[in-house]
Chain A
Amino acid sequence: MFFLKKYKIIIFIAVFLVTALMMISYNLKYGMNNSFLRKIVMETVSPVQEVLSVSIQSVKDSWLRYILLVGIEDENRNLKKKINDLKAVLVSYQEGYREAQRLKKLLSISDNNNYRFIAARVIGREQAALSRTVMINKGSSDGLKNGMPVIAPPGLIGRLVDVSLNVSRVLLFIDENSNIDAIVQRNRTQGIISGAGSGGMILKYISKTQDVKEGDVIVSSGMGGVFPKGWLIGQVIYVDRQDASLFLKIKVAPYVDFSKLEELLILSSDETKFK
C-alpha cells in the first residue's frame, strides 16, 4: 500500500502509456479496422463532420462568390474602359479609312488627267442665303490663283474667288453668283449653269425646241477658258416645258453633296502635267 501511495503518479502514467502501447500492439497484430470503439467514434463523428463540412463549405462558397463578384466588378470596369478606348481607336481608324477613300477618289482623278492638281482641305463653310462658298487651307503661297477650277469627285464643283496667302475661298456652282458655260453631254446642247442655292443649279438659255430630258448629264463646255472641257457638273432632274418663256426651265442636281466636302483638288490651269 505504501508502495502504491509513494509511486502513484508513476504508476498512473505507466498504466496510461502501457494501455496506449497495448492498443498499438493489438491493432498491429490483429488489424486496425475491427475495433468496436473505433466504429462508435466514426459513427458519432460522421454527422458532426457532415454538418460542419456543409456549413463551412457554404460559407466558403459565399465568400468565393463575393470574391468572384468583386473580381467581376473590377473586370467589368476594366472592360468598359477598354471598350471606350477601343471605340476611340475605332473611330480614328474609320476616319482614316474614309479619308483614304476620299483621297483615293481624288488621286484617281488627278492620275487620269493631264493637269496639275493641288490638293486642299476644307477648313470652313459659308452657307448664307445668297452665298455658297467654302474656305480651303491653301493659298497663293501654294500656287493658287483667282478663277482656278475646283474639283471634287466625280467632277467640277466651283472656282477660286478669293485667294490670300495661305487660305482661299471657293465659289461653289450652287452659289447664285456662279455662272458657267455647260453642254448637255448627249446632244451637245449648250447653255449656262447658274447656281440656285439650296435648289441646286439651273441650266439656262436652252430653247424649247431642244431635246433635253431628265437624267441627261451636264458637262463643262470649255468655253471661256476657265474650266476645262468635258468635266461633270450635274444631272438634269427636272425639265419644265409649260412655262411661257422662250427657254426651258431645267433643274440640275450636282453630283457632289456640297455639305460634305472635306478634301478638294484645285486644277492649276497654267501648268499641265505631261504623262
Chain B
Amino acid sequence: MLYYLSLPILSILLIVLQSTITDIIFSGSLLFEMSLIVVIYAGFRLDLIKGMVLAFVFGFVFDCVGGSVPGLFVFIYMIIFLFSFFVSDWLDTGKIHVVVLFSFFCAFLKEIILNLFYYMAFHINVMMNGYSIVFMQALIISLSAPLLFYLMDRAEIFIYEKRV
C-alpha cells in the first residue's frame, strides 16, 4: 500500500528533478528522461500490476508537467513497460551492456511512437529536424541507465532489505 501511496509523490519529485536538470544542464535542448529509465527498470524488476500502475502514474505526471496531450505518455510508458516486462524473461537484465542497449532501443521506440502519434493526430513530423537530438537523447538515457539501475537496486535493498 505504501508503494501505491508514495508513487505519485516520487513521480512528481523525479519528473520535476529531470525537468530541472534538463533546464540547467542542457538548457532545454535535450531531455534527460529518467522517468523512462524507471519504467524500463519496473519492467525488469516489478510485477505486472505494480509496474502498470507505476507506468500510468509516471506517464500522467509527465503529461501534466511536460504539457503534452494528456494520456499520451501514459500510453507510451505503459507500452514500454509491457515490452520490458515481457522481454525481461529472455534477457539477462543484470548485464550492463544489455541495460544500455535495451534503454537505447526503448528511447528510440518512445520517439517512434511519439512521432507516429503527432503525425496521425496533427500531421506534424516532430523528428524532421531533430534526428541528431533524438540520437543524443537516446544515448544519454542508455548511458545513464546502468547508474540509475544500480541506485534503484540499492534503494530497493535499503527499503525491503532484499531485492523484491
Q: List chain A positions with a Cβ less than 8 A from chain B.
A: 9, 12-13, 16-17, 19-28, 32, 35, 37-38, 41-42, 44-45, 48-49, 52-53, 56-57, 60
Contacts and interface: CB of A to CB of B under 8 A. Distances in A.
30 contacts: A12-B49, A12-B52, A13-B82, A16-B56, A16-B78, A17-B78, A17-B79, A19-B74, A20-B56, A20-B59, A20-B74, A20-B75, A21-B71, A23-B70, A24-B69, A24-B72, A27-B69, A27-B70, A32-B70, A35-B70, A37-B60, A38-B64, A41-B12, A44-B12, A45-B16, A49-B19, A52-B16, A52-B17, A56-B20, A57-B24
Nearest to B77: A20
B71 A49 contact: no
B68 to A, nearest CB: 8
B13 interface: yes
A32 B65 CA distance: 12
Q: What 9 A-B pairs are tightest by C-beta distance, nearest first?
A: A23-B71, A24-B71, A41-B64, A20-B75, A20-B74, A49-B16, A27-B70, A38-B64, A48-B16
Interface of A (DSSP majority class): helix
A24 B56 CA distance: 13
Nearest to B85: A13
A26 B75 CA distance: 14
B52 A16 contact: yes
Nearest to B61: A41
Contact of B12 (A20, A22, A27, A48): A48
Contact of B52 (A13, A26, A44): A13
B70 A24 contact: yes
B77 to A, nearest CB: 9
B48 interface: yes
B159 interface: no
Contact of B75 (A17, A41, A44): A17
Contacts of A52: 16-17, 20
A125 B21 CA distance: 76
Given A16-B56, A44-B12, A56 B70 contact: no
A21 B73 CA distance: 10
A35 B79 CA distance: 23
B128 interface: no
Contacts of B59: 20
Contacts of B1: none
